[in-house]
Structure 1
């Protein structure tokens, strides 16, 4: 057995896990195309933003509670 050539990653020395070998997916081709990511995005618009109002009310309430407990 000879020493592996540097850069030859398709072969692994004996004793190494064969699952760690570099392989090429032969089933992939340039003819395979997926859908555009932005074409599948659905944004629900026209609804009021409720969460910012809830966070603002909770924050103001906690600040007022903190001030009341300090005084």
Structure 2
């Protein structure tokens, strides 16, 4: 797993969103997938409930499994 500091320093950091619910940053899955550009990959690392919610949202929006890494 990458640390949030590593993600923020990555060359693709402008395309990274970090959400920490304990800090008041909740992930809006419907908006995320509605705005997703074709070919975009979605990665998630979190509790099982979050990972399963992301997987279900990806399936609802017909994001190929190869583009949704949990």
Bigger share in helix: 2
TM-score with structure 1 length normalisation? 0.21
TM-score with structure 2 length normalisation? 0.21
Q: Which has the higher Rg, Structure 1 or Structure 2?
A: 1
Bigger share in strand: 2
- The one of the two structures with greater contact order (alpha-carbon pairs below 8 A, sep at least 6) is 2
